[in-house]
Structure 1
Amino acid sequence: MFAPRTTPWPLVALFTAGYLAPYLLPTTVGRLDSGLPVSATQAGAIGSALLLSSAAAGFLLASRVDRVGPRTLARIGLVLAVVGYGGAALSSAVPAVVVGALVGGFGSGTATTVAATGIAAMGVPPREGVRASGSDPHRVTTLGLLCVSALAGVVYLTVPHLGPGHGQPLAAIALTALAVWPLTGRLPVRTTAPQTGQHDDRTPLPHPRSGLVLAATLLCWSLVQNALWGVSGRIGLTQAHLSETTVGAVFAVALGAGLLGVVGAGAVGPRLGLAVPIGTGTALISACIVLSASATDLTTFATGEIAWNLLYPVVLSYVIGLAASLDPRGRWAVLVGSASSLGTAAGPLTGSLLSAQAGFPVMGVALAAGLLVIAVPMTAVARGTGRRPLPVVEIPVEAPAQQHAYDTTAA
């Protein structure tokens, strides 16, 4: 698909465009209830609907990328994102904003599906007549996370200075999709099947038990993360009594810490295996959630958010890599990612309801306890995969959906 030893920038760009909406969730939800006649819970529900639409795209399109073609499908997704988010940004009518969020969310999910499928295919070992891509999925994943974190950080620093209203973060997502469009010309019109005779959407999924367990647990894992992320802005504004500018600065620094975490994960690669980063990282994240949710001042709020954002993309990159290692065609990567999006979609509404009923600190304890419970089966899947022979890619490099398939000996 791509020349050896080159970075697949079209896939990185699609990954960035697809993931930007979840990364901007706090400011998007926060500005919906301040810029439109909706309550905080209703704003959370709109955010959840956006992400649910994104997840639906992944489930519907996971096995159809080969059939439709990466270039065509990517362009369809970007058009939907531009039209949906752009329309929602320009409208002040709640129904129009909801429809725009749904259309834009489906576009984001489509872009993410194409990116995840292409990145997972990089882990396919070279065979006679087909040259290796020269890219390892984990490296591309970390690069995509770096790009989306950096872009989201810029938006968080900029939006408070652009005046009130709900449109600015939505417009940022639409403009990103528009900017990515020219790079789609470098995507293939059709993909090559990873193995001869297997270019068939009906080929059974390998490792169904591990895949289903990982999908179910990642759904819950993402729900917990985004239940907090969806209300983090309100925690900073109402419980810690900070200004929007200060909260935005904390988020920008936190996303910067996430960049460092991703760089560290990329440098460490497979040397720690899969189980240690996923299990230990999830346990540490649970502690950060309790700290953030109980914050009543700048120091506690910033510490919790920064530490959490440092760890979150690290664990996510390993989990996405684990999913991709289960199927070199990338179907588990997309399906597990879509399950994650379902959890992400339910997160804002869950966080809004829990915090409204029990308060932010109790919400944090409940979320952390749930996270510790699901860390057990996630770690078990990671340990089992580490003992199982996986595809080997000779050249270490990149990608959001399949990090660990390139080196099974170190796992």
Structure 2
Amino acid sequence: MNSAPPASAPSGLAALTGRVIFGFVGTWVFALMAANLVPVLIAAMVQDLGVDIAAAGALTTGMTAGSALAMFVTNRFIARADRPRLGRIGLVLMVIGYGVPSAVLTVPTVMGGLIVGGIGAGIMIATGTAAASSTRNPDKTVTTIMIINRLGASALLAIAPLFHNDLRSVLVVIAALGVVGLLLAGGLPNLPESALAPAPAAGAGASAGDARLRRTMGGAAFAFAASILLWSLTEDMVYSMTSVLAQQSQISPETNSALLSGKVLGGLVGALLAPLALRWIGRSWSFVLIIALSTLTKFVMVTSTTPVAYTVAILVWGAMYGAILVLYAGLAAIMDVTGRTGVLVSGFYLAGVAFGPLVGGQLVGVLTPLQYAITVTVPSILFAVVLFVIARRNRKLERGNTTAIAVGDAVRDEAAAAAGPR
């Protein structure tokens, strides 16, 4: 009895060369820089525009929501798009969105500019996310890009005091990144035509297999997206309220700022540890272990009344956050070679990031610390369960460090299995 041969990777998938890495840096990494500078943007708007902190927070929420919306729209045609060209469209919007307000510093221009810039960033994130699925080893690609992102974010936050909360300087820096990105975006890989080629006919078995596969993948993708929306919402409900939580734990604002920088740096450590966890215990158990640690430390942060407990919790939480970003993005990239699943999931992730501060601000003063802790930790448990199930259902998703699953190849495998022994 001969078994069906393993599915081969679609030809034409990109290797992670220097040019390709720079393509991701010029789009995906640079697009995330504005989001990493949100606390600096808020402080600068309060100082230079005279708006209150709630209004400044609402403006940055609009920016991030614009990114999420742009990702959902872009996802409709991301599979066959010319990704370098699409990335450059996003970069032009980023340059205009942040460049114009830096020259005309008024509330209306900043408001409009942040939304335009956010839309451009969303297009860039969608393009980079989808392109990761078109590389030979999506896990390696995602890990590399996330490490670079964490390094960039740490560097930007380290030099942020040099801006002295000057809004014009911050906007100029973001716009300048967009200009540099225009020079680098050409390295983004497109989806090879072979990845979208239809599977050869194999009778009724192929038809049934095709329908079953598409139903399964669709359901998994949307379960993934829904759970990550709740998880990222609650993560930012905690992150955006750290000033309140730090005060509750008798920590000064200055110390809390240093801890936030440590949290971001911890994300770099987590991004480095994630591939090791994937190799040693597999993706599903990595999710369970890392999300469990993240959930526990998040609970401690919200309920803590001592500096030591809060300090240890926020640093470990930051490391776990970086590891989860690498693992979730890698899983989404491998699930679908076209990149549409990755863009869908990341769009819902950004939507949670956008509205986390808004929801957190409404609830933190109404609920007790214990009630707030339960509110932000239950979705994390759901998230862990969903990702565990998705990863365990397919050995290729579980072991990682593989090429993305091509829809045509997966249909071919299932059709062969349905046909039985030859």
TM range (shorter): 0.7 to 0.9
What is aligned with 1:216?
226
TM-score (norm 2): 0.79
Matched, 1:337 2:372: no
Alpha-carbon separation, structure 2, partners of 1:335 and 1:19: 17
The residue number in structure 2 matching 1:115 is 128
Per-residue CA distance 1:135-171 (angstroms, 9 max, x = gap) = 4111111111111111111222221233134455444
> Residue 311 of structure 1 corresponds to which residue in structure 2?
320
Displacement of 1:298: 5.3
Instruction: Give the C-alpha shift of residue 300 in structure 1.
Output: 4.2
CA shift, 1:210, in A, is 0.8
Q: 1:214, 1:378 within 8 Å by CA — same for their partners in 2?
A: yes
Query: 1:148 and 2:149 equivalent?
Result: yes
Shift of 1:389: 9.3
Per the alignment, residue 59 of structure 2 pairs with: 46
Q: Hey, what's the Cα distance between the residues in 1 that align with 2:49 and 2:244? A: 16
CA distance in 2, matches of 1:368, 1:50: 26
Instruction: Using the TM superposition, name which of 385-394 and 14-23 deviates more.
Output: 385-394
Distance (whole Å) between structure 2 residues aligned to residue 270 and residue 364 of structure 1: 32
Cα-to-partner distance string for 1:240-276 (whole Å, 9 max, x where unaligned):
55345x4443222222221111111123434422221
Deviations 1:25-60 (A, max 9, x none): 333344444554434333332222111111111111
Instruction: Summarize the Cα distance change of 1:156–1:333 in structure 2 as closer, same or farther, 3 Å threshold.
Output: same
**1:232 and 2:239 correspond:** no
Residues in 2 aligned to 1:92 and 1:233: alpha-carbon distance in whole angstroms: 28
Q: In structure 2, the residue corresponding to 1:350 is in which secondary structure?
A: helix
Conserved in 2, the CA contact under 8 Å of 1:154 and 1:252? no
> Is it true that 1:58 corresponds to 2:98 in the alignment?
no
Distance 1:265 1:115 in 2: 20
- 1:302 is aligned to 311
Structure 2 counterpart of 1:176, one-letter code: L
- Alpha-carbon contact 1:49-1:102 (below 8 Å) kept: yes
* Letter paired with 2:84: R
1:267 matched to 2:268: no
Larger CA deviation: 26-35 vs 317-326: 26-35
**2:172 matches 1:137:** no
1:277 to 270, 283, 286: 286
Q: Which amino acid in structure 1 is aligned with residue 350 of structure 2?
A: S
* Identity over aligned pairs, percent: 24
Amino acid at match of 1:24: L
Structure with greater proportional helix content: 2
Report how far residue 339 of structure 1 moved.
1.2
CA distance in structure 2 between the partners assigned to 1:234 and 1:34 by the alignment: 21
- What is the CA–CA distance in structure 2 between the aligned matches of 1:205 and 1:169, rounded to whole Å? 46
Residue correspondences, number: 379
CA RMSD across the alignment: 3.2
Question: Post-superposition shift, 1:16?
Answer: 0.8
Cα 1:356–1:323, aligned 2, differ >3 Å: closer, same or farther? same
Secondary structure, counterpart of 1:285 in structure 2: helix
CA contact (8 A) 1:41 1:353 kept: no
Paired residue type of 1:267: L
Say if 2:108 is the partner of 1:101: no
The 1:375–1:391 alpha-carbon spacing in structure 2 relative to 1, beyond 3 Å, is closer
What one-letter code is carried by the residue in structure 2 that aligns with 1:6? Answer: T
TM-score computed with the length of structure 1 as normaliser:
0.81
- 1:326 corresponds to: 335
Aligned with 1:328: secondary structure? coil
Give, in whole Å, the separation in 2 of the partners of 1:228 and 1:88: 30
* Corresponding residue of 1:257: 266
Q: Flag the 1:392–1:272 CA change in 2: closer, same or farther, 3 A.
A: closer
Report the Cα distance in structure 2 between the residues aligned to 1:144 and 1:270, rounded to whole angstroms: 19
The answer on whether the counterparts of 1:120 and 1:329 sit within 8 Å (CA) in structure 2 is yes
Identify the residue that residue 128 of structure 1 maps to in structure 2. none
